[in-house]
Structure 1
Amino acid sequence: MTIKALRSTRIVTPDGLRSGVVVVEKGKIVAITEEHHGEVMDYGERYLMPGFVDIHVHGWGRGSFAWKGTRESLEAMSRDLVNAGVTAYLATSATMPQDFLERSLQAAAEYINTAPPGDGAEAVGIHMEGPYINKKYLGMQREDSLQPPSVEGFKHYSALAGGHIRLMTLAPELDGALTLIRYLRSLGITASAGHTDATFDQMTAAIDAGLTHVTHAFSAMRGLHHREPGVVGAVMYYRDLYAEVAKQTGITLRPEVFDILYRIKGDRRLVMMSDCLGYVDFPEGYKFHHYLREETFEISRGKLQITGKDGDTRCIAPNDWHDVCQLEMSFLDSIKAVVNRLENGLVSAAQIACLNPAKLAGVASRKGSLEPGKDADILVLDEALTLNAVWCRGVEQPLETAK
């Protein structure tokens, strides 16, 4: 029987910061106590906090599930995500051609069922972003792959996914959407509004049907107008509606807009996620223009070429971790960008980046907080919030940044 114990004067718990020892047995937290008489790893004043739960991540680092749809892409994501502090995630699909989507769901199911414990972040389920979305707010989704909402269609996807779909982003104003939302609620699957032109009244009907979440709030949705509050108005009005926000670079959301949403939602209903893509794992020959970054991405001869609006091109190889990890803002860097504006610092961060997303993913019984009975998914952070160590289900993970 292997018992590990981690000591710190600053353990981030749902009740606040405390001093003590986190005792781990068989990958689970069995106690947080003041006294422990066995061997202890002493982290002094460094923070111990729960690992982040990313419920909206298409790819990260050297893996891109949404664009490759393979087990190998998920393996790469899992091993690289720990470098961003993510210890659990929902493998997030995109609105893609039917045959590709079907193969992707099967690959995800197989990986979730067989991935060895402790081999990077745990894929705890699947988030389907589309194909039941509105073409008016496509964003980076594919118009040629849109489908009308359908319970039968979802049952088909769910069977391929082995019952692992935990969250679905859809446009609630589309015909058939309310029926699907009710069906998702009956299964305990989170229904989320995204890529949607819904009116406030249509959002109200969707909430009554069981919709509980909004995907990348403010982005790809009908905005707020004083006579038609739209989706954004519903996000602000309905207190129990969860709302997620992505990379806090200031590009997608101005800092002031994040602050407005946080003042309304608070720790209880705001959700952090990354919406990252994993550019270097895109298929050979794939090319697209990122309208927010004003850059064009293309995979050529196994390398990523990025061309800016000035015409200058830089090239990044998948094995160049220093450049790869800076292609997209990491989950941890997003937390660093907002933590000083949260009501209770890292305690608030643990709520919006760990526990709230764990609830939406249906895994809050074992993820999202440092409490007895939960998985030992633990981050060790110094005063500057630099990642010093990561434990996934009690297994310490190798970190690229430490090499």
Structure 2
Amino acid sequence: MAEPRLLAFRLPFDLVGERFERDVVLHDTTAEITVPDSFESDMADDVARSEVLAIQRLLTLSRHADIHFRWGAQIAKRVLASPSLFPLLAVAITLEDAHHSIEGMDVEQASADIETARRRLFKQRLKTDMFSDTQVVVCADSRGRGTPPDLYGNGGRMIARDDFESLLEELVALQAGTDFSTSTAVKWSSALATVVSELFENSDTHGKTELSGLPIRKNGIRGIVLKRIELDKPAKKATGEEAAKIDAFELSIFDSGPGFFASFLRKPIQDDVPLDLEWKVVHACLERHYEPGITDLRPGHRGMGLYEVLRALQLLRGAIEVRTGRIFGYRTFMEGDLKFKMEPATSLTRPGMPKPQLLDVERRIVTVPTRHELLVGSSIRVIVPLH
């Protein structure tokens, strides 16, 4: 029997670029992941915008390989003290059966410190006091820690829409700063509550069980990532306004469930499944109405409400990215971006409103999907400018 190859990854870059696809499809059984002391400065680059995709790829890797994390001493000190400020690394310490070594520390002490940080992560609450520009809430379902109090009530049920709205109003208003008007904060919190509730409810319903309906036995992990980021604002030739940086609020949701296609049709996705069928199924998952030619096999499924999500993002001049299976779709309503797939102004039902259709992230203006590497679960990223 051939010896398993050792895969070597360096965070964060190797979980964002094309190298991940080339290596993971080999189904090797051991992966060594370096977490360098330069991690924070590396994440200050544009790669930070792909952090939720890196999380989804890490969860996929955990299905194919035994993982050994090798931490630099300084980054380990920072992360283990405040794990909720480092979404990708918070997921790393949540993984079951992963091994951790820390530079300059014996294995027993490193294991104890990782366990302490994990308990700290599960106890931490969302902060609204501008303590950090980045936060993560992790639902570690397979560890029995799947209902953090920020997102679930005492009975283990998701908090109500009104509670989402109250939480987001405080988060958005404080992230935006003191010159953010009360009326604007109310508008944003209501629209964002629609987006958050729809997306997280979909993850709660379909992202924490196997196709059998049983809970995911290993590395069943879901979560929400909140960030304040900077976006490039394009120049306006007509007014002479120059290009600039603008603040934005990013909200991402991820899970390690079966993914949209498998969850919807109750069977694993295979290589011979046509990509256009997967694209159609993804849209059927996102919509509440009946999709002709596709039968939903999930009991009580009502869809995520893609139209409602896109309508809220149109109001907020935001964007969305959806990554599941081999699909990577997006829509944008940001200032300066071209708008596609909109209802005409003469529409009798939804004049000027977005059609419930994703575009392909690679080709940007078409609805024909590009094939990407097969990932477990799903990740959805929403970006909204703050001004």
TM-score, normalised on structure 2?
0.31
Higher fraction of helix: 2
TM-score, normalised on structure 1?
0.31
Higher fraction of strand: 1
